[in-house]
Amino acid sequence: MSIKQLVLTLIGMISKDRHILEYQLEDFLLDDSFVNFASNKNQDDITKWEDWFAQNPINSKFAIEAKMLITKLQYRKQYLSNDFVKDEWHKLSQRLHLNDIKIPKKNNTFFLKKIGRYAAAASILMFLATAIYYFSASSIKDSEIIYQELYVAKGESKNLTLPDGTIVFINSDSRIRYEENFGATDREVFLEGEAWFDVSHHEDIPFIVHTQENDIRVLGTAFNVYAYPNENIFRTSLERGKISLTHKGGNQIELKPKQTYTLLKNSKEVKIIETEHIEAYSAWKNGDIIFNNHPFTDIIKTLDRTHNITFILQNKNVGKCKYTGCFTTDDDINSILEVIKLPTPFEYEFINDTVIIK
């Protein structure tokens, strides 16, 4: 039996009716609803699993692991490298002892007793086969183009100067990619996450930022882009100059200085807001964390990136509370939470690198 046949056979034998409370890592990975939740794709699934986390913390450890894995693998195909695939395979095969698995004969009772282990192997093979396929397809397509790529991990921020003199500050958990011969014939970058650009003026070659939701076209200007694929909001704020945005081939929208464009992905609602203190959106490049009437659910997303901490929100009432304040990336996470909980009382517990809000 080939590996492909084994995977298909095992998937067909996995029970779809298994109770969530009995879920292991592989069950979360194979649950379409959970994948939608982890990828922030369906509001009903997001609500369902947020409620589940709040009410059933029993096996949340596996759910957290699965969410992290799905998040890693959801990068678009051009971002999956050979090293990433090999590393993920090594870690997961060690954990699940996949190297010890021998393909049994179809009628062997040992096969039935160990079906759980094979199911785990099947789910991992599915994920990694998808990753390898995406990487291979991208490599063939872009074989003649060499890209420079920079990923900034959680808890960090970096800056770089592009060949044309454009200065870019890149926030945590963000990725930027551009051609090696950037500036020769075009100036295009691909962004996932958040970055601030101070674009060098070049009248003949416009500067274009490609994101999942919008393409941003400029000549010379300074602006901030907030474009995390797993969040519902896309935002760009213009400090000076002029930019135009095109949403998936639609009409262009032009922004003037001190204007902020926001798009709610789920509802497709677009707003353009006059913003007096426009620099507050890019304060992160100076190490500042500013909240201006932000709901607690958004605050913990920010702290997740700035301090490399995973949050589980069990207290739904706290999630609706809004907070205004200013911190820095050097502030200890305990100190930040202690200040935030003053007007909005809640309890929290650390489990390794995870904070449970009770």
**87-136 tens-digit pLDDT:** 655 655 565 555 554 545 545 544 444 444 444 445 555 555 555 444 44
Domain termination site, one of 281, 310, 339:
281
Q: Which long-range contacts (CB under 8 A, 24 or more apart) does 337-343 make?
A: 340/296, 340/299
- The number of distinct structural domains making up the chain is 3
pLDDT in tens, 103-114: 455 455 444 444
Say which residue the tokens 């939701």 belong to. Answer: 213
305 and 264 fall within a common domain:
no
Q: Which of 247, 265, 281 is at the close of a domain?
A: 281
pLDDT at residue 342 greater than cutoff 70: yes
- Looking at the structure, do residues 22 and 126 belong to the same domain, yes or no? yes
pLDDT at 138: 47
Confidence grade of residue 222 (pLDDT, cut at 50, 70, 90): very high
User: Do residues 299 and 274 share a domain?
Assistant: no
Q: Which carries the bigger pLDDT value, residue 4 or residue 308?
A: 308
Residues in CB range of 56: below 8 A, 6 or more apart? 20, 21
pLDDT of residue 170: 95
Assess whether 307 and 334 both reside in one domain: yes
Residue whose entry in the numeric block shows the structure tokens 């100067």: 161
User: Which residue did the predictor score with more confidence, 33 or 77?
Assistant: 33
| Residue 275 and residue 297 in one domain | no
Tell me the average pLDDT across 227-243: 91
* pLDDT exceeds cutoff 90 at 82: no
Give the predicted TM-score (pTM) of the model: 0.60
d(CA 111, CA 118) in angstroms, rounded, equals 9
Task: Please tell me whether residue 266 adopts helix, strand or coil conformation.
Answer: coil
The CATH number assigned to the domain holding 264 equals 2.60.120.1440
Q: Indicate if 176 and 272 belong to the same structural domain.
A: yes
pLDDT given at position 137:
47
Q: Is 183 exposed, middle or buried (0-12, 13-18, 19+ CB in 10 A)?
A: middle
Q: Report the CATH number that the domain containing residue 307 is assigned in CATH.
A: 3.55.50.30
Do 247 and 266 lie in a common domain? yes
89-93, 113-117, 166-170, 220-224: the lowest-pLDDT one? 113-117
Let me know: does 182 contact 208? Beta carbons within 8 Å: no
pLDDT in tens, 187-216: 999 999 999 999 988 878 889 999 988 899
Same domain for 347 and 301, yes or no, is: yes
My answer on whether 125 and 250 are in the same domain is no
247 and 217 within one domain: yes
Torsion 91-92-94-99 (CA) sign: negative
Mean pLDDT of 224-252: 88
- pLDDT level of residue 185 (50, 70, 90 thresholds): confident
The CB density around residue 100, as the number of other CB atoms within 10 Å, is 8
**CA proximity to 295, closest of 320, 313, 312, 325:** 320
Distances (CA, A) of 165 to 36, 179, 237, 326: 40, 15, 21, 32
Q: Out of 107, 141, 175, pick the residue that ends a domain.
A: 141
Residue 318 is part of which domain span? 287-357
- Whether residues 80 and 42 share a domain: the answer is yes
The segment with the largest mean pLDDT, out of 89-93, 160-164, 340-344, is 160-164
Same domain, 248 and 322: no
CA atoms within 13 A on the CB side of 284: 27
